[in-house]
Structure 1
Amino acid sequence: MEYRHLGRSGLIISEIAYGNWLTHGSQVEEEAATACVRAALDAGITTFDTADVYAGTRAESVLGRALKGERREGLEILTKVFWPTSPGHNDRGLSRKHIMESIDNSLRRLQTDHVDLYQAHRFDVSTPLEETMEAFADVVRAGKAHYIGVSEWTADQIRRGHALARELRVPLVSSQPQYSMLYRVIESEVIPACEELGIGQIVWSPIAQGALTGKYLPGKQPPAGSRATDDKGGADMIGHFLRDEVLERVARLRPLADEAGLSLAQLAVAWVLRQPGVSAAIVGASRPEQVTENAKAAGVRLDAELLARIDEIIAPVAVTDPLKTHEMTPARRP
């Protein structure tokens, strides 16, 4: 494993992070989830990303139990707040009430007295940004989080949040967007703004929810038990990557991966990590061997010729419209 600074902050994280969205507490049983966490630790992964909403709060609880007994100072635990976790009208969004209550609930589930990074899971158009940032600042000052970050905010939202964070003297150090060979919407606006501000990207779905593994073939039904057959949310997320025109181009990457001595998934993760603005790529898994294999992308350097050949194949089907990031902001509280 190799390690990187999170943006220009002093925090160092593993360049491959383990995330438990769509797995812990839903797709896989707790014994398998724990085995995946152990495999991540064995691979040198120290950064673990979750959110209160994952699996209706169960993912945080599973992760907390899986990490119990580990030296807390040797881990970076990341979680998020925004989406509803209970039916109450205040159990959502980025109001002061919801943030202050949610951090305590997350810490209880994670069995820790602090998280290393507390992230706004989306931008809340229903709450003044000043209120949100002041609440996050109080979370940091109370010692319940060391740093703060955002997820799927636009470049303008990030600039506004960062300016307030500086006024409040709290470290807003990260952005967590979707990013992969097939989904590049952050390249034109979000990455340049974050590099200017010293904010690092912790990207999710570097393998495009599995579309870049090569397991999905054009003209064929998805393999039984794969994410594309999961009716708990996985199928909805991966569906738009499974068009034949996309899968045909993914298949053309296999000889390139073979030349580099990598699996397709490892090639996809290494491609994301070649971006200077990326501090870490989040990988998920339903089996420990998936974690072990994906972690081998750490430290891989892809040469310029290989990157150019990848781009020639994939660029025609990649999603690049920066307005896709704007669409991630809910028009109202969920």
Structure 2
Amino acid sequence: MAQMYFYKFNINSDIYDVYRDATLQEKVLNKVFESITSDFTCTQDYKEPDGLEKTVEYKFCDLEKDISTLKVTGRLVKIFDGETQTYNRIKDTVDIKYEEDKAASATFCFDILNEEIAFITRQGLRYLQFGKYFMDLLEMKFPENSFKLVLEKNVGELRSKVLGINRILKMSSEMIPPNANEEEFGILLGASVDEFKETKATKYSQSIEVPVKGKNAINPNTKFFERLFFAIGRGYATMTVEGRDKENTKVIVNSDEDAPYKIPIPEKEKDSITAFKERASLGITKLIRDKSKLKLRETGEIDGGEEKS
């Protein structure tokens, strides 16, 4: 079975304008729908381990757009030059051939109204790379930092991994204002929300730590951590936790790398635009339902934060 991953699409630079005028959100989302086309590409230069400079190209293709639901289904394709190896049965050896315009593609479905992107990954196009390329393509049509993609996380799995660390030494996190949900912003930042909004900042970073030497450790069973888990589960934050296990070996838990929200999808459906659109719609519905179950109680604990399948 292949795996389907998800990105939360967030309006970023204009988020405070959206708070003041709810109609602006619809206008922005319609512009996003119109901007996703297959008639432009983005390129990125990089160096191979041997120092050889190369260029990778990426673009959208095979697009199907449904204006009635504001859904865009298609592929994000990475185009590059490289070697291909095949086994030669007659000579019992490996034939190596250099090829131009090799490709690695990821089928995706962007549900713009629900602000969620469902997609699959491939060898050479993993989920964090997909998010970077998708944003690069969007920013060719919009000003930089207009939007923010946040990988959806399995908050139950993340909490289990964090609480399983024997001694936590450091925690760093990044949070963005909830997309068109000012009330939830108050839940996430508490009394400091108005002061933060006055700054006009669109990203809130924080870090806490204790000295490595000594016996002190950060306590994750607190309202502080539960508030962060809630923000992560809702699609507005990321977290990295560093510590030591029982053998005093260094442990790092990264919310994006170690606890992505994913749903299995049959291999035969991952490359069919029609089948993937149907499967993605079901997956996004399940994701939104799971996220809606997350409630931050007055005690600081999360309701509905159990592990998601």
TM range (shorter): under 0.3
* TM-score of the superposed pair, with normalisation by structure 2: 0.27
- Highest Rg: 1 or 2? 2
| Structure that is richer in strand per residue | 2
The structure richer in helix per residue is 1
TM-score by length of 1: 0.25
